[in-house]
């Protein structure tokens, strides 16, 4: 008892910033909040507000593609891409109603990629690789300002990306607003990107000097609290690109100069109070005017372990091939491509993500394995020999302070 009295003079700041540092409202607190959200007393208290603290984060990710199978190689180096991604961000409140975020990302890639698909001595399709000489570095810088008011928030973002052979400048605007009882959130965004491609003429021959690409995108979505422990979300996006969409580093690639795509996103979250976990299910349908449909289904279980968490997840992806894809490109037609990314295939991703809170620091780690194969696909179509499998490992730290 004496010991307890001795600490009476110690001062500790336990304010809204401390509360906001908690991972999220637990289902218990969220459901209690929902029960009284309609009372005038709590309507302002539940309003959107800028973060009460500054967040600084650093994340590093290593991505490594498996070497190409010996039987599928006709010529070149079997080693494929390795990519190192480093990301640094800071987000801080400004005044009572604004926040500003700044992020920088550096991607450093090296390795070889399929140049074109030909046939081996047995007449089977095989890949001719570009040679292990590709080295590229991309730097992306983004700034977001966000304004918060009682029923929602709106943000404006500018991002510039620069690499040896590609430059892009993108602007986006997004807004979200909540219903009076806070059970429904509407969100919308619009973005535009102005890209320029100027391929580096080193390892492999390229046939253009500089080309342009414009992309516009719109999104509209809604999320709805169903019960005190479940929430559902649905969103629709439309994107149109106009300009140079061909891959200049592929020998046999000629794509249309316009690409329209529509995506339907849905998600469901169910919290299990006793288990201290949440089941997350997401489904995405994609359709484009190049003849490709795709389905993505992801299931994850987020287990809270006190202030820490562990999330295993499994993702299935399947797409149909583009109209102008063939295993060996038919260059007699207007449009053609042998790029495995346009073929019919399926992919399975399995991963594990963990977060550990140490004081004000959050440390995260993630490991993911991706395997793709033509036989995993829901759709018919010939197998492209260059399909990729990869590992990705991520570590990161985030610090939040007043």
Partner 1 sequence: MGGPATITIRHEADCGDEVHALLKTLEQDTTSLEAKYSRYRSQSLISRINAKAGDGEFVAIDAETLSLFNFCAVLHEQSDGLFDPTSGVLREVWDFHLGVVNDPSRLRQLLDRVGWDKVEIRGQQLRLTREGMALDLGGIVKEYAVDKSIATIREAGFFNAIVELAGDVMAIGDRGSDEPWQVGICDPTHPDQALMSVELSNAALATSGSYHRFITLDGQRFSHFLNPFSGMPIRDPRSVSVIANNCISAGAIATTACLHALEESEAWLNTAGLPWLMHDSGNLRGPIAEMIK
Q: Give contact residues for partner 1 (rule: CB under 8 A).
A: 1, 4-5, 7-19, 22-23, 25-26, 28-29, 31-36, 38-42, 44-45, 52, 228, 273, 276, 304, 306
Our CB check for partner 1 shows the closer of 22 and 104 to be: 22
* Residue 12 burial (10 A CB sphere; 0-12, 13-18, 19+): exposed
Q: How far is the CB of 180 from partner 1 (least distance, A)?
A: 13
Q: What residues form DSSP beta bridges with 140?
A: 105, 161
- By beta-carbon proximity to partner 1, the closer residue of 34 and 141 is 34
- The region that residue 245 occupies, defined by phi over 0 for left and psi between -120 and 50 for alpha, beta otherwise, is alpha
Query: What minimum distance in Å lies between the beta carbon of 28 and partner 1?
Result: 5
Cα distances (angstroms) measured from residue 397 to each of 51, 56, 59: 18, 8, 6
Shortest distance, position 2 Cβ to partner 1, whole Å:
9
3-state secondary structure 307-375: CEEEEEEEEEEEECCCCCECCCCCCCCCCEECCHHHCCEEEEEEEEEEEEEECCEEEEEEEEEEEEEHH
To the nearest whole angstrom, how small is the minimum distance from the Cβ of residue 398 to partner 1? 18
**Four-CA torsion 381, 373, 264, 368, nearest 10 degrees:** -170
C-beta closer to partner 1: residue 11 or 70:
11
251 or 278, CB closer to partner 1? 278
Cβ closest to partner 1, residue 135 vs residue 227: 227
Name residue, tokens 């983004």: 142
Kindly tell me which of 43 and 145 has the beta carbon lying closer to partner 1.
43
Based on CB atoms, which residue is closest to partner 1, 39 or 121? 39
- Please state the φ and ψ torsions of residue 76, each to the nearest 5 degrees: 110, -165
Distance between CA atoms of 94 and 102, rounded to whole angstroms?
Answer: 13
Minimum CB–partner distance for residue 185 and partner 1 (Å)? 18
Alpha-carbon distances of 312 from 303, 366, 369, rounded to whole Å: 9, 10, 12
Tell me how far CA of residue 339 lies from CA of 67, 174, 202, 207, 250, in angstroms: 17, 34, 21, 17, 8
Q: Are 367 and 352 in contact (CB under 8 A)?
A: yes
Record the tokens describing residue 301, joined without a space: 């279980």
User: CA triplet 367, 372, 374: central angle to 5 degrees?
Assistant: 170
Quote the least distance from Cβ 32 to partner 1, whole Å. 5
- Name the residue nearer to partner 1 (CB basis): 18 or 383: 18
Is the CB of 35 or the CB of 143 nearer to partner 1?
35
Rounded to the nearest whole angstrom, what is the least distance from the CB of residue 309 to partner 1 in the complex?
Answer: 11
Least distance from partner 1 to the Cβ atom of residue 97, Å: 13
CB atoms within 10 A of CB 363: 14
Give the shortest CB-40-to-partner 1 separation in angstroms. 7
Q: Which structure tokens are listed for 134? A: 């590709």
CA dist 322 and 293 (Å) reads 9
Q: How far apart are CA 98 and CA 155, in angstroms?
A: 9
Question: Which C-beta is closer to partner 1: that of 173 or that of 272?
Answer: 272
Nearest-approach distance from CB 48 to partner 1, in angstroms: 13
């Amino acid at each position: 008892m004496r010991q307890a009295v001795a600490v009476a003079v110690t001062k500790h700041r336990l304010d809204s910033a401390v509360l906001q540092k908690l991972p999220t409202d637990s289902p218990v607190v969220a459901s209690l909040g929902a029960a009284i959200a309609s009372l005038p007393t709590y309507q302002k208290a539940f309003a959107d507000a800028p973060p009460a603290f500054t967040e600084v984060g650093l994340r590093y990710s290593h991505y490594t593609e498996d070497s190409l199978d010996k039987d599928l190689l006709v010529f070149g180096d079997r080693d494929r891409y390795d990519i190192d991604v480093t990301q640094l961000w800071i987000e801080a409140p400004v005044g009572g109603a604004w926040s500003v975020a700044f992020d920088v990302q550096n991607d450093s890639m090296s390795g070889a990629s399929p140049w074109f698909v030909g046939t081996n001595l047995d007449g089977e399709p095989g890949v001719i690789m570009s040679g292990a000489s590709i080295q590229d570095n991309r730097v992306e810088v983004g700034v977001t300002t966000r304004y918060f008011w009682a029923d929602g928030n709106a943000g404006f973002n500018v991002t510039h990306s620069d690499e040896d052979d590609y430059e892009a400048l993108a602007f986006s605007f997004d807004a979200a607003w909540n219903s009076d009882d806070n059970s429904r959130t509407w969100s919308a965004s619009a973005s535009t990107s102005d890209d320029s491609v100027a391929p580096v003429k080193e390892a492999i021959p390229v046939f253009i000097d500089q080309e342009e690409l414009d992309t516009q995108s719109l999104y509209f979505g809604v999320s709805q609290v169903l019960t005190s422990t479940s929430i559902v979300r649905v969103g629709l996006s439309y994107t149109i690109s106009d300009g140079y969409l061909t891959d200049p580093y592929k020998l046999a690639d000629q794509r249309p100069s316009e690409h329209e795509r529509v995506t339907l996103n849905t998600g469901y979250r169910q919290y299990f109070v006793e288990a201290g976990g949440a089941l997350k299910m997401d489904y995405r349908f994609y359709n484009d005017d190049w003849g490709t449909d795709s389905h993505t289904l992801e299931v994850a279980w987020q287990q809270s372990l006190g202030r820490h968490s562990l999330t295993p997840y499994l993702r299935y992806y399947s797409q149909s091939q583009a109209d102008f894809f063939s295993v060996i490109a038919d260059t007699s037609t207007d449009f053609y491509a042998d790029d495995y990314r346009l073929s019919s295939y399926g992919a399975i991703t399995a991963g594990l993500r963990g977060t550990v809170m140490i004081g004000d620091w959050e440390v995260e780690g993630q490991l993911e394995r991706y395997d793709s194969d033509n036989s995993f696909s829901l759709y018919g179509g010939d197998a492209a020999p260059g399909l990729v499998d990869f590992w990705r490992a991520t570590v990161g730290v985030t610090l939040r302070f007043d």
